[in-house]
Structure 1
Amino acid sequence: MPVTEPDIVGELQEREPSGYLLASVRGVGQVDLQPLIWTGLVILAALWSAGWEIGLFATLGTLVSTATAYALGVDRSNIVLGLQGYSGCLTGIALVISLGHHPATYVLAVTGAVLCTVLTATLTTLLGPYGLTALTAPFCLVSGVMVLGAPSFSRIWNGAPKQVSSPTSGETAISWDDLWHAFFTNVSQVFLVDEWYVGLIMLVGLALAGVRVVLFAAAGSVVSIVAAWALGAPTEQIREGIYGYNAVLVAIALGAVFLSGTVANGAYALFGAVASTGLTASLTSFFKPFGGHTFTWPFILTTWALMAAVPLLPRLRRSD
């Protein structure tokens, strides 16, 4: 995710191995497109509060992806901003949630993190001419393939995995308790966690990155709740953040990172958040017959589509 902070690059390049550790922490923050070290630390703390297994595999995936980038000679300015660690972070979490905690999961998490770094380079090369970035596509591709293939291997598969991002039919009436839970779990589900207090801690981390960042995260969460409810989505799925986490990412990406801070750009970002909410249900129905997972595909596809249109929309402006 192309967030740049030139003033920190030279500083971190001079410090090894502390530079590697700081780059890894930034990689956690870059899941939400934020390179600030304090944002990464707060989000990492939130993940450990969700459970030691989630915290451990998030940390492992980020460390391995970042180390792989160093080993393969990826541009240092890219590494130190955390741009090589975020897909590995999400892959580690997805694998331990889907496959359970056992030795084979560690092997897959390490392998997946390495593959994420390679795929990041591949997608950056392919998408560069169009002014697009890989976003979390390496995570979706690697985790999707690994989780889908796991039942074929008895040393990996421990039975039915926990459900990850899978909207279903159900009750559509919504209460105040459902609403405030959804507001926070929309943020935590970016990391595949459905605990409201984890989302609250993560919002604190996003606030440290700037008012604009946290406001668009909050706005994305709110509009996704309204859109999902208006479309008749099941209340339990709204409460768990299943329909909202992609909207949070889209709102941050378009409203606070890729586009400048104009009214038109803000409206465009919230439009994208609503679109990703509907796309979540569509992609889940697409993946369901063969056991695939939605993960962050709605965020990726929505952001790619809307950013690809920007050059032909004169009222919209990319960030400098």
Structure 2
Amino acid sequence: MNSTLFTLGRGIGQVMFQNNALSGIIMLLGIFLNSWQMGLLALAGNGAGTLTAYLSGYKQEDIRAGLYGFNGTLVGIAIGVFMQISLVSLLLMIIASAFSTWVTRLFGSQRWLPGFTAPFIITVWLLLGICSFFFPSLLLPTSSSVIECKPDLFRAFSLNIGQVMFQGETIVSGLFFLAAIFINSRLNAFYVVMASLLSVVVSLFWGVEYSMLNMGLMGYNGVLCAIALGDKTWKGAFYSVLSVLISILLQFTGMKFGMVTLTAPFVLSVWCIMGINKLASGKKRLNILG
């Protein structure tokens, strides 16, 4: 029983790169404080993804680390964001969470690109496409954003963190997420704060609509970028800042075209930085050989 709870906790914590069951439980509490339905969906998606990994015979070490649960966690929450809750949507959630586990496995079987949240993105995009054709009544209507006339900086800062898991209704969720990260890694917490603040500043200078800024839509990808790349070196700090900036550009562009971006700007930005780093390392080796 305890082992299962630890696995599920890590499956939530790994959404923000925290291989710590306590961090995951605190994040789950943050979700429940915003929406008990989303909290249950997060657990259900996590459980479905993790169970699929068990039944598929994947490595126990990876399962216990939550590596097959975090994409399912996001898929579960996404069901509550984009769909009416019904028997059909819950069945689709189970299938989609299982599918995200198989996609995670595919990414893990190659060495070129880490999957990060790509399995979640691919799964939800496919799910939304299928539903728009076959189950349009399941999809919730798109809500128009309320026009806001001034920035709410603290709200934007907090929701930049909370929106990593679709928690954009209360600042408390983001603060719980930050506390959960701080418990596991002060370095990661530092980069979360840096990325959220940087996203706010850049968005203000860029003239982003206050409604987008205040809802945390411009910063949540940057938060993930900073955790993924930030370390104790100047190089890591530089790459994390660069990745945050790229993610803001990608998010802004995607939203202007009406895309459901999810965490695609984060994944694409980090992949881009990894490519830059690989090219730079290759040139350095060539110079040494020359």
1:125 aligns with 2:114: no
Separation (CA, whole Å) in 2 of partners of 1:160 and 1:205: 31
Separation (CA, whole Å) in 2 of partners of 1:298 and 1:169: 24
Q: Would you say how many aligned residue pairs link Structure 1 and Structure 2? A: 281
Structure-1 residue corresponding to 2:2: 18
1:136 aligns with 2:117: yes
For the 8 Å contact 2:89–2:138, the answer to whether it is kept is no
1:227 aligns with 2:202: yes
1:196 aligns with 2:168: no
Instruction: Kindly provide the CA deviation profile for residues 44-102 of structure 1, in whole angstroms up to 9, marking residues without a partner as x.
Output: 11111111110010000001101111111111111111111000000011111100221
For the 8 Å contact 2:196–2:219, the answer to whether it is kept is yes
Aligned positions of 1:173-184 closer than 5 A: 174-175=150-151, 178-184=152-158
Report the Cα offset of residue 21 of structure 1: 2.8
Aligned positions of 1:76-95 closer than 5 A: 76-95=60-79
SS state at 1:106 partner: helix
Instruction: Kindly provide the CA deviation profile for residues 22-63 of structure 1, in whole angstroms up to 9, marking residues without a partner as x.
Output: 112101000001101111010011111111110010000001
Q: Residue type matched to 2:119 in 1?
A: P
Q: Structure 2: where are the runs of 5+ without partners?
A: 282-290
2:271 is matched with which residue: 298, 304, 308? Answer: 304
Separation (CA, whole Å) in 2 of partners of 1:113 and 1:235: 34
SS state at 1:157 partner: helix
Compared with structure 1, are the counterparts of its residues 49 and 169 closer, same or farther at alpha carbon in structure 2 (3 Å cutoff)?
closer
For the 8 Å contact 1:169–1:234, the answer to whether it is kept is no
Q: Structure 1: where are the runs of 5+ without partners?
A: 1-16, 315-320
Q: Residue type matched to 1:49 in 2?
A: L
Separation (CA, whole Å) in 2 of partners of 1:19 and 1:304: 33
Aligned positions of 1:197-212 closer than 5 A: 197-212=172-187
TM-score, normalising length from structure 1? Answer: 0.83
Structure-2 residue corresponding to 1:64: 48
Separation (CA, whole Å) in 2 of partners of 1:46 and 1:249: 17
1:102 aligns with 2:83: no
Separation (CA, whole Å) in 2 of partners of 1:229 and 1:267: 21
Structure-1 residue corresponding to 2:285: none
1:267 is matched with which residue: 227, 230, 238? Answer: 238
Separation (CA, whole Å) in 1 of partners of 2:184 and 2:122: 28
Separation (CA, whole Å) in 1 of partners of 2:256 and 2:107: 26
Structure-1 residue corresponding to 2:288: none
For the 8 Å contact 2:199–2:248, the answer to whether it is kept is yes
For the 8 Å contact 1:20–1:66, the answer to whether it is kept is no
Report the Cα offset of residue 170 of structure 1: 5.9
For the 8 Å contact 2:8–2:21, the answer to whether it is kept is no
Separation (CA, whole Å) in 2 of partners of 1:220 and 1:210: 15
Structure-2 residue corresponding to 1:48: 32
For the 8 Å contact 2:99–2:123, the answer to whether it is kept is yes
Q: Residue type matched to 2:159 in 1?
A: T
For the 8 Å contact 2:131–2:139, the answer to whether it is kept is no
Structure-1 residue corresponding to 2:127: 146
Separation (CA, whole Å) in 2 of partners of 1:120 and 1:238: 31
TM-score, normalising length from structure 2? Answer: 0.91
Structure-2 residue corresponding to 1:318: none
Percent of residue pairs bearing the same amino acid type? 28
Judge which range, 141-150 or 62-71, deviates more: 141-150
Q: Residue type matched to 2:184 in 1?
A: A
Separation (CA, whole Å) in 2 of partners of 1:160 and 1:78: 35
For the 8 Å contact 1:186–1:244, the answer to whether it is kept is yes
Instruction: Kindly provide the CA deviation profile for residues 269-303 of structure 1, in whole angstroms up to 9, marking residues without a partner as x.
Output: 012111101110112334x2xxx510000000001
Structure-2 residue corresponding to 1:244: 219
SS state at 2:256 partner: helix
Q: CA RMSD in A?
A: 2.0
